[in-house]
Amino acid sequence: MGANLFANYGEAVAVILFGIGFSNLLLQKNLIKKIIGLNIMDTAVYLFLAEKGYIEGRMAPIVVDGIQSVDAYINPIPSGLVLTGIVVSVSVTALMLSLTIRLYRRYHTLDLDEISTQLKKEGR
Amino acid sequence: MAFVQNFPFFSIVLSMFAGTVSSVLPQKPAKYLNTAVICIVGTMSAVLLGFTLQTGESFTYMMGHFPAPWGNEIRAGVLEAAMALFFCIIMLLSLLGGRKKLLGEVEITKHNLYYILINLLLSSLLALIYTNDLFTAYVFVEINTISACGLIMIRENGRTIEAAVRYMIMSLLGSGLLLIGICMLYDLTGHLLMSNIREAVAQIVAEGTYSMPLLVTIALISVGLAIKSALFPFHSWLPDAYGYSTVSSAAILSSLVSKGYVFLLIKIFYRVIGFSIIRESKIIDVLFLFGLAGIIFGSLSAIKENDIRRMIAFSSVAQIGYIYMGIGLGTDVGMIASVFHIIAHAATKSLLFVAAIGLTDVSGGSRKFIDLTGAAYRNKVAGVAFTVGSLSMVGVPVFAGFISKFLFANAAVYNSGKMLPALVVLSISTILNAIYFMKTVIRIYTPAKTDYPCITWKQEKLYAVTMVLFMILNIILGMGSQPIVDLIQQGLSTFA
């Protein structure tokens, strides 16, 4: 168990980071901190994928001087997944930030609970 | 390959393309384009349903003619085609019913944006239904979330933006868990196509290795999708999001968006992991428990609520609980009941939302019960429709809700361990449903002297026609349920 954990320390770090990001997104009151948590969480997943996709001593499957044997290259699919994931994460972050700006302009605070109490006061 | 087999791909791309085109169209053409696309996709799904019923099996469709481990795949069978057809019908009716309200609540310059979001939502729902690739499913889950968020906040006021933020936060937590679950599953099996993963998972289980990582993966994916579909206790965003968005959005969100995720979860259970492995993993017991808790809690919150829209929203929490309870029973009969309830609840909940808006409109826009007194006399069509929806939710025979309750009770009997809790909760929740829905029906049929205007069906023909169509749909589901149940059974047998 301990030896496995040490051999796969990259994945272990990724999962710990995922936990940090997840709990920040869930528990922080401040919207910007929540968004930072979201980004840590997503990046942890990319670290996990990159760590899984990399094989020591091999290179990216880009043909430079003739195709070499299969053993020379890493599996490109995890890298492709990371790219797709980054696109999704960027668009979601942009959407969250724009919503945060909207709320800040209206209520002059970034605290979600504070906004809820103000909404209750408005009584609508 | 028959030409019909292209239809799943056509419907996804057509609705996505329509979304892109709508961005440069003015309001009216965008509206007509959207309606046309939903009708075309519905027709294509109906033809596809006929085709799959004839062949009796599902088929895979290679995207770009790359064979299995490399290419992306679409897979369609009876159940997928039926779901696509049904989703199109509900979406069309919800949009028609809320069209007049949309004019009042959303700025006219933003209407084409609304139809972009609807088109994108349709395409992502169709992709969730048809896709045979896990990562594609994840990408479309995110598209679905973003467009649903747009649908909530397009009616701009503080409430909806706050609801949209809460919705996004919960959804992002869910998709984060789903994403890391999918990555771990890819790591374990080395595949992303569902059928290939299934073979690898069967091998892993047979060898007895990696049982703990597999369990963690199943748990992550199930919890992620459960959060996204608002299973109790992850429902905190739901009442605000359904209660304050414009009525078409509320109807579509409650009846389609959350159901898309449940459908994906059922697909993962059957096609990716294999239902027998899921049954042994005890994950479904957890889903069963939370389903039961959701039924009770959702109904109790609905009773306490003093706002008709939020009351219907809390009732959705209870109904999602029913669906997870059916999944949690862990039998094929329970799954059939769940899939039927997906259909029955979608038909009924959208009917209730659209009917409620008719009632609040003739009560000075107030959603408080005290102001709704006698509203059914002022808008007769909405009153009758709301009563039909309520009776269906309570589970009175003739209407759709009765059949799903009957199927759930029937399924519970087949599972000796879970029979007692399931039946007890079913009966308690029926009583609770009756309390808050009948309270509302009695309230709207209590005569009252007010100076609110009356609306006859001639003034709002489109609304009245939509309500009648909704009621007919509900009664069809209630009276002619046997062919639909047979169809679901056939679909599930070829689903894996």
SS (H, E, C) B64-88: HHCCCCCCCEEEECHHHHHHHHHHH
What residues of chain A lie within 8 A of the CB of B162, using their CB? Answer: 103, 112, 115-116, 119
Helix (H) or strand (E) holding A37: helix A31-53
B159, closest residue in chain A (CA to CA): A119
Question: Does pLDDT of A122 surpass 80?
Answer: no
B189/B25 Cα distance (integer angstroms): 46
On average, the pLDDT of chain B sits at 90
Rounded to an integer, the average pLDDT of B276-293 is 89
Interface test with B, best of A11, A13, A77 (most B CBs within 10 A): A77
B444/B446 Cα distance (integer angstroms): 6
B187, closest residue in chain A (CA to CA): A52
Rounded to an integer, the average pLDDT of B417-436 is 90
B138, closest residue in chain A (CA to CA): A85
B393/B344 Cα distance (integer angstroms): 9
Using DSSP's 3-state secondary structure scheme, residue A50 falls into helix
**For the range B106-114, what are the long-range contacts, defined as Cβ-Cβ under 8 Å and sequence gap of 24 or more?**
B106/B154, B106/B155, B106/B246, B107/B156, B108/B27, B109/B27, B110/B154, B111/B27, B111/B30, B111/B31, B112/B22, B112/B23, B112/B25, B112/B26, B112/B27, B112/B30, B113/B23, B113/B150, B113/B154, B114/B151, B114/B154
Question: Does pLDDT of B321 surpass 70?
Answer: yes
pLDDT band per the 50, 70, 90 thresholds, residue B407: very high
Q: What is the CATH number of the domain that holds A98?
A: 1.10.287.3510
Taking only the tens place, the pLDDT of each residue in B54-107 is 988 888 888 878 887 778 889 998 999 999 999 999 999 999 988 888 888 888
What Rg, from alpha-carbon coordinates, does chain B have? 22
And the tokens for B28? 């009216």
Does A59 fall in a domain? no
Rounded to an integer, the average pLDDT of B294-315 is 91
Rounded to an integer, the average pLDDT of B208-223 is 90
CA distance B239 to chain A (A): 14
* CB-CB contact of B36 with B92 (8 Å): no
pLDDT band per the 50, 70, 90 thresholds, residue A123: low
CA B123 to chain centre: 15
The predicted pLDDT at position B165 comes to 92
And the tokens for B292? 């039961």
The predicted pLDDT at position B395 comes to 87
What residues of chain B lie within 8 A of the CB of A88, using their CB? Answer: 138-139, 142
Rounded to an integer, the average pLDDT of A55-63 is 81
What residues of chain B lie within 8 A of the CB of A83, using their CB? Answer: none
The residues facing B193 across adjacent strands are B133
B438/B369 Cα distance (integer angstroms): 13
Determine whether the interchain pair A81/B186 forms a contact, defined as Cβ–Cβ distance below 8 Å. yes
Determine whether the interchain pair A22/B139 forms a contact, defined as Cβ–Cβ distance below 8 Å. no
Interface test with B, best of A34, A43, A93, A102 (most B CBs within 10 A): A102
A48, closest residue in chain B (CA to CA): B183
Does A60 fall in a domain? no
Q: Does A24 touch chain B (CB under 8 A)?
A: no
pLDDT band per the 50, 70, 90 thresholds, residue A124: low
Helix (H) or strand (E) holding B62: strand B59-62
Closest CA to B179 of A53, A41, A26, A1: A41
Domain enclosing residue A46, as ranges? 2-54+70-122
Q: What percent of chain B has pLDDT over 90?
A: 55
Rounded to an integer, the average pLDDT of B219-223 is 93
Choose among B142, B164, B165: nearest Cβ to A112: B165
What is the reported pTM? 0.94
Rounded to an integer, the average pLDDT of B389-411 is 91
A115/B162 Cα distance (integer angstroms): 8
Q: Does A115 touch chain B (CB under 8 A)?
A: yes
ipTM of the complex: 0.93
Taking only the tens place, the pLDDT of each residue in B334-365 is 999 999 999 999 999 999 999 998 888 888 87
Of B64-68, B102-106, B293-297, B376-380, the one with minimum mean pLDDT is B64-68
Taking only the tens place, the pLDDT of each residue in B447-474 is 887 777 788 777 888 899 999 999 999 9
Whether omega before A78 lies within 30 degrees of 0, making that bond cis, reads no
The predicted pLDDT at position B371 comes to 85
A82/A51 Cα distance (integer angstroms): 11
Determine whether the interchain pair A22/B173 forms a contact, defined as Cβ–Cβ distance below 8 Å. yes
pLDDT band per the 50, 70, 90 thresholds, residue A57: confident
Determine whether the interchain pair B158/A49 forms a contact, defined as Cβ–Cβ distance below 8 Å. no
The residues facing B368 across adjacent strands are B307
* CB-CB contact of B224 with B175 (8 Å): yes
And the tokens for B411? 């399924």
Closest CA to B166 of A26, A84, A82: A26
Helix (H) or strand (E) holding B272: none
The residues facing B74 across adjacent strands are B61, B131
What residues of chain B lie within 8 A of the CB of A122, using their CB? Answer: 158
Helix (H) or strand (E) holding B3: none
Question: Does pLDDT of A67 surpass 80?
Answer: no
CA distance A42 to chain B (A): 7
- Report the sign of the C-alpha dihedral through residues B213, B215, B218, B220, in that order: negative
Q: Does A124 touch chain B (CB under 8 A)?
A: yes
Determine whether the interchain pair A25/B173 forms a contact, defined as Cβ–Cβ distance below 8 Å. yes
CA distance B309 to chain A (A): 13
Residues in CB range of B420: below 8 A, 6 or more apart: none
The predicted pLDDT at position B37 comes to 95
The predicted pLDDT at position B294 comes to 93
B81/B90 Cα distance (integer angstroms): 14
B414/B419 Cα distance (integer angstroms): 7
Size of interface A-B (CB pairs under 8 A): 84
Q: Does B70 touch chain A (CB under 8 A)?
A: no
What residues of chain B lie within 8 A of the CB of A41, using their CB? Answer: 176
Does A61 fall in a domain? no
Strand runs labelled E in B281-395: none
* Total domains present in chain A: 1
On average, the pLDDT of chain A sits at 88
Higher-scoring residue by pLDDT: A63, B95: B95
* CB-CB contact of B147 with B120 (8 Å): yes
pLDDT band per the 50, 70, 90 thresholds, residue B262: very high
B273/B223 Cα distance (integer angstroms): 15
B315/B437 Cα distance (integer angstroms): 10
The predicted pLDDT at position A1 comes to 62
pLDDT band per the 50, 70, 90 thresholds, residue A65: confident
Closest CA to A100 of A51, A42, A49, A35: A35
Q: Does B221 touch chain A (CB under 8 A)?
A: no
B152, closest residue in chain A (CA to CA): A99
Q: Side chain identity at A21, as an amino acid letter?
A: G
Using DSSP's 3-state secondary structure scheme, residue B133 falls into strand
Residues in CB range of B171: below 8 A, 6 or more apart: B145, B148, B149, B227, B228
Taking only the tens place, the pLDDT of each residue in B98-109 is 888 888 888 888
The predicted pLDDT at position B350 comes to 93
Give DSSP secondary structure letters for B186-238. Answer: HHHHS--BHHHHHHHHHHHHHHT-SHHHHHHHHHHHHHHHHHHTT-TTS-TTH
* CB-CB contact of B26 with B112 (8 Å): yes
Residues 37-96 of A with CB under 8 A from B: 38, 41-42, 44-45, 48-49, 52, 77-78, 81, 84-85, 88, 91-92, 95-96
What Rg, from alpha-carbon coordinates, does chain A have? 21
Question: Does pLDDT of B248 surpass 60?
Answer: yes
A68/A64 Cα distance (integer angstroms): 10
B14/B234 Cα distance (integer angstroms): 34
CA B23-B160-B321 angle, to 5 degrees, is 105
The residues facing B455 across adjacent strands are B379
The predicted pLDDT at position B318 comes to 92
And the tokens for A15? 């999962």
The residues facing B76 across adjacent strands are B59
Of B156-160, B190-194, B410-414, the one with minimum mean pLDDT is B156-160
